[in-house]
Chain A
Amino acid sequence: MQLVLEKRGERSNTIALVSPLIAIGLTIVTMSILFLILGKNPISALGVYFIDPLTDSYSLQEIAVKATPLVMIAIGLSLCYLANAWNIGAEGQFLIGAVAGSWLAVKTQGTDAGHWVLPAMLLLGAVAGALYALIPAICKVRFGASEILTSLMLVYVADLFLDYLVRGPWRDPAGFNFPTTAEFDPVATVPLLVEGGRLHLGAVIALIVVAAGALLLGKTIKGFEIRVVGAAPRAARFGGFNSNQLILLTFAISGALAGLAGIIEVAGPVGHLQPGISPGYGFTAIIVAFLGRLNPIGILIAGLFLALTFIGGEQAQIAMKIPLDVTKVFQGILLFYVLACDSLILYRFRLIFPSRQVV
């Protein structure tokens, strides 16, 4: 008896929907084993991770706040990945967007600048993110450099640049030498949706991005070009689609969305520029993009789920003294299973029994 993978005639749409759920199931089983090894009760640990955050309104709001950057970045990344362009550096584009927008906030600090400041900051963040993402894209198109490596390495450049700014020129003079800018003025802050809550306008922008992504991919010729270039490059060239142009375009869009997410995060929940504004949103968004099947609606759901793991991880650290890094382990295992389960869309398992031998 033998277990083999057999190619399906046509891709299975059922499995395409079910495969992320299988992946989540397998992740939970693996995590339970890990909790057992750590000497924790897996049932109560999983409860703290996945159930508790859903039971109070503060946590629910916090999930939406965390999901906002994840979803925005992942929508952009999904365009890249569909076009077979591997932008791994969304984290860097996020940070550069935050820096560029903060520049205006710092410069207008304490002046009578009007309500144009926040829109201008958002625009600056998006443009800076796009330009930063174009560096690896141009290197790939022009010189054939691997965009995976270059985009990843630029994350560290962005990280250290931000670090330098908040420890040096932009440090708050009244900040007791902490590496941070001063709190942004109200005109440079993303307004809250509910007074006294945490939910801010960024969540609405994220929903608009999801809708725009769905429209682009499903209804426009550009979206079609993006999908063909990734799925069948030679057919795309035969169709007259320029793959280099599409690499530049998808990198620019994804950089813009990451940059926008960065400045919204800084001008929203954080309120000032400082190191550590991102708990790895740019990297977690890669998982969100794949868990959401590179589909905008799927990404919205996946973004909320991954945000849940952030909140659950924090609560597990407080309640059960489980290290915060376990969250990252969780996310890594999840990505692993998601990619593995994807093979089931085009293949199926089959048990092969040896043919009857007439003796």
Chain B
Amino acid sequence: MPDSTPAAQPPAGTPLLQTVGLTKRYGNFLANEKIDIDIWPQQIHALLGENGAGKSTLVKTIYGLIQPSEGEMRWRGEKMVLSGPSEARGRGIGMVFQHFSLFDNLTVAENVALGLDGKESFKDMSARLEQVSNVYGLPLDPKREVWQLSVGERQRIEIVRALMQDPKFLILDEPTAVLTPQEADQLFTVLNRLKSEGRAILYISHKLEEVKRLCDTATILRGGKKVSTCNPKAETAASLARMMVGSEIKQVKAAANRRITVPRLVVNDLNLAPDDPHGTRLEHISLELKGGEILGIAGVAGNGQDELFAALSGERLSQDPGTVVIEGIAAGHLSITQRRKLGAAFVPEERLGHGTAPRMKLSENALLTGHAASGMVQHGFVNTAATLKTVDRATETFDVRKAKRDPEAASLSGGNLQKFIVGREILRNPAVLVVSQPTWGVDAGAAAVIRQALLDLATAGAAVLVTSQDLDELAEITDRIAVMFHGRLSEPLATADASREKLGLLMGGSSLDQKEAPHAVSA
């Protein structure tokens, strides 16, 4: 695809950073192939692409974490070879990673000190930390320990740490993935300010609306190659998505005649202390989910979603059988196997190691959940033909791409493995499906298949509970959305009424109808 639309303002002079024919090869695999990208000061440059498109490889090369196989980088027009990240920082390149590298038991200031190469005293550094965080409207208490902070606050530490080195060029890797819509807006204000100060920003994301709003230029990668550099404001979300995926994305379609039937999953005032000390206590959780209905649970990660999944699946048992009712039967005290026999099915967030045993074959992973209620086990012996048949059926129905008939789970790509896992459960015709982050880290094509499968399952009469951090996904497939915050679950809103603003307030701990906000985040 040609560079159809020019960048917003074609600046004069030399770019701040240029990559020329940058290529990174792992064995025979080309993670990046001849990538040319120009970064200009005073611009927010989006880097778009699906998982595996080569975004991470590219930014890691620019940050000096990996060496390119071919091609070169130019800094202000001059050739630059980076031997490591500290050299990149020395040039004025800063990076905020998607996964924070913070020590939970150290204070904010101690964490920042560990990340700096400088030689200033701890006291001076703390003072400068407070000053930088105030100037940019990123309030932080240097003396607080990290484990007490919210995810948004933790991200602030990473950003402030990068800003304290006065970078000319800042890279942010999916910074809004863990933020509420309101927190994201605050971040955009900061980024626009950094831009107005003349800094360049490389912004990695796959949230297209966000990119259209914030960014001046967008470079789109697909399969390790650059597809296009364009002005995102002149594109539509659909045209950007098309460039990312390379083909039209199928829109999911809800069946018109979905019938809401009887309650199939009910939770009554569930309270559960966490297993580990940093976990979240579930408090007074109640919900009712009828057949034919999809309920979404939104919320920032770490607010009790994992604990709720464990309580619903039976990986954690409750003392009171009546807290979880599946198909009209009190199941709070029943094991996950017994709950499966009642017609429940579960898809956890982690594909490898939780949803599947990574080093075992797909047929064995079919047996992992299928042994409970199927013909896979007879008199204690495994019917291998039946497990293989499940693999074949899931492959066929959900278009699972794999190198051979029965490979190890770990050898599949994320999207294909997720299709297999969801398929494995749906093929059992469950009455209740509890699924956590169904399309996390999955390519757009696979995500569409999975979302459609969930809708079809509900149409067939099952009750579906979807936990997700992706509000667009919940808006697309759910009937109602509830929000988890600090181990409590809000009243569900009808999806049609659940605006981003309302959900954002609930995700931040405010309540919608009362004036007081019992758990408001300190801002």
Contact = CB atoms under 8 A, between A and B. Distances in A.
Interface string A236-255: 11111000000000000000
A345 B70 CA distance: 31
Contact of B371 (A232, A234, A239): A239
A10 B411 CA distance: 6
Nearest to A237: B315
Give the interface size bracket for B toward A.
Answer: 35 or more
A10 B315 contact: no
Interface stretch (B115-123, B333-341, B506-514): B333-341
Contact residues of A: prevailing secondary structure: helix
Interface string B54-67: 00000000000001
Contacts of A219: 381-382
A174 interface: no
B354 A234 contact: yes
A235 B337 contact: no
Interface stretch (A20-28, A184-192, A221-229, A262-270): A221-229
Contacts of A231: 357, 359-360
A231 B365 CA distance: 12
Interface string B326-346: 000000000111001000001
A232 B380 contact: no
Given A238-B348, A240-B340, A10 B360 contact: no
Contacts of B314: 240
A228 B336 contact: no
B381 A238 contact: no
A177 interface: no
Contacts of B335: 240
B356 interface: yes
Interface string B35-74: 0000000000000000000000000000000011110100
Give the interface size bracket for A toward B.
Answer: 20 to 34
A224 B387 CA distance: 13
A358 interface: yes
A220 interface: yes
B408 interface: yes
Interface in B285-324: 313-315
Contacts of B355: 235, 238
A220 B69 CA distance: 49
A355 interface: yes
Interface in B360-398: 360, 364-365, 367-369, 371-372, 377, 380-382
Contacts of B358: 232
Nearest to B368: A239
B380 A222 contact: yes
Contacts of A234: 350, 353-354
Contacts of A224: 364, 367, 371, 382
Given A9-B411, A220-B381, A235-B365, 20 more contacts: A10-B410, A221-B367, A221-B371, A224-B364, A228-B368, A231-B357, A231-B359, A232-B356, A235-B353, A235-B356, A235-B357, A237-B336, A238-B336, A238-B354, A238-B369, A239-B371, A240-B336, A356-B70, A357-B81, A358-B72
Smallest CB-CB A-B distances: 5 pairs? A240-B337, A232-B357, A239-B368, A240-B336, A235-B357
Interface of A: 9-11, 219-222, 224, 227-228, 231-232, 234-240, 355-358
22 contacts: A10-B411, A11-B408, A221-B381, A221-B382, A224-B364, A224-B367, A228-B368, A235-B354, A235-B357, A235-B365, A236-B357, A237-B315, A238-B313, A238-B348, A238-B355, A239-B368, A239-B369, A240-B336, A355-B67, A355-B68, A357-B81, A358-B72
